[in-house]
């Protein structure tokens, strides 16, 4: 029996992670108050505060070292098997225990530092937003307001209409500013507080761009990683989006909405411009799907300078399209579906509902 428990403990993290994955989708109250506002904070606050002290991306470093580490471990295992011919069974058993233990810890950290938040209350409930069906006119009106917000922010930046948007400060300074936009909404929604004080630029952003991904939250390091090769106007929004993950929000559409909300509440015009521009893309795309005529009507609100920035982002995307991006997006789509989001990547588009609900409440 003693030997059984000695070998059984390695399965405990894996079992706990599996139980959370199976049970929590059916217990949103427990998930919200025990896990999202409890376990998640207990795990991420100290770890996030610690990793924020490091100016570079530990996530990127781990990815770079992953292949050499696996090769090294395989070499060590082979050497042990050759040297200890009479104890190969014990050596393989030890290697198996190591793999199970490592996988269990990784699964538990993923669930505790991110996965549980897929099963908490939806953001519309937490923020008391009415996401009921809105009219096409409401959508068109929202597009006009977003375009107006972008125009105003661009004017505040002092940019001429033939001048592309560029970040005025260093990447490290700009990315750290993501937290400032959240300060205004944290007062009303204190559960959004986090200890992560900096978003990390990815040094290998250019090759990463071929995956079609502009930001990643790593639950194992509680880090928010930003692809800085994208058009400059998208960087603040991406930083704010990844920051939302570190604040306990898992769904992509909800993170996009919080990124928009935090950006337009930011004291920095770069963030306000980024928030309005990205939200305009989501809402105008939705309007395009409904009515090409209404979509054409809102084009009059876009200035030449805004067009310049939109084109820069389109060029960034088109220049990196290919099989790698297709495969990456398919993997991302399936990963989202595994978390209990049947619409997969399409869940990103639901941000439009939240933006419309926000404007309906603001106008009410």
Q: What are the pLDDT digits (tens) for 68-91?
A: 988 988 888 787 878 877 777 787
Burial grade of 194 (CB within 10 A; 0-12, 13-18, 19 or more): buried
| pTM of the entire predicted model | 0.90
Pairing, β 223-226 against β 200-201: parallel
169-194: per-residue pLDDT in tens?
Answer: 899 999 999 999 999 999 999 999 99
Q: Which of 149, 137, 122 is nearest to 356 (CA)?
A: 137
Please tell me whether residue 215 adopts helix, strand or coil conformation.
strand
The more confident residue out of 324 and 217 is 217
Q: How far apart are CA 240 and CA 232, in angstroms?
A: 14
The pLDDT of residue 344 is above 50: no
Q: What residues does each domain of the chain span?
A: 2-119, 124-363
């Amino acid at each position: 029996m003693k030997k059984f428990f000695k070998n059984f403990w390695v399965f405990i993290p894996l079992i706990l992670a599996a139980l959370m994955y199976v049970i929590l989708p059916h217990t949103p109250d427990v998930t919200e108050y025990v896990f999202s506002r409890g376990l998640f904070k207990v795990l991420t606050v100290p770890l996030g505060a610690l990793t924020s002290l490091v100016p570079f991306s530990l996530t990127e470093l781990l990815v770079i070292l992953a292949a050499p580490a696996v090769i090294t471990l395989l070499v060590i295992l082979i050497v042990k098997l050759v040297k200890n011919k009479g104890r190969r069974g014990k050596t393989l058993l030890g290697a198996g225990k190591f793999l199970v233990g490592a996988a269990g810890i990784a699964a538990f950290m993923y669930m505790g530092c991110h996965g549980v938040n897929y099963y908490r209350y939806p953001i519309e409930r937490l923020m008391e937003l009415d996401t009921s069906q809105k009219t096409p006119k409401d959508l068109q009106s929202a597009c006009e307001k977003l375009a107006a917000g972008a125009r105003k922010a661009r004017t505040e930046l002092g940019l001429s209409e033939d001048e592309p948007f560029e970040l005025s400060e260093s990447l490290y300074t700009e990315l750290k500013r993501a937290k400032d936009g959240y300060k205004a909404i944290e007062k009303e929604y204190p559960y959004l507080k986090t200890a992560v004080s900096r978003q990390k630029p990815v040094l290998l952003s250019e090759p990463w761009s071929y995956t079609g991904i502009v930001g990643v939250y790593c639950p194992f390091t509680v880090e928010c990683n930003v692809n800085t090769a994208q058009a400059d106007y998208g960087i603040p929004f991406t930083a704010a989006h990844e920051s939302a993950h570190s604040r306990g929000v898992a769904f992509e559409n909800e993170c996009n909405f919080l990124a928009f909300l935090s950006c337009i509440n930011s004291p920095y015009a770069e963030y306000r411009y980024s928030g309005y521009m990205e939200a305009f893309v989501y809402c105008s795309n939705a309007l395009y799907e409904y009515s090409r005529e209404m979509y054409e009507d809102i084009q009059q609100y876009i200035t030449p300078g805004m067009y310049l920035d939109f084109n820069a982002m389109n060029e960034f995307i088109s220049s990196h399209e290919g099989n790698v991006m297709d495969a990456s997006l398919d993997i991302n789509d399936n990963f989202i579906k595994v978390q209990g989001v049947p619409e997969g990547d399409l869940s990103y588009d639901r941000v439009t509902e939240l933006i419309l609900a926000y404007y309906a409440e603001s106008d009410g």
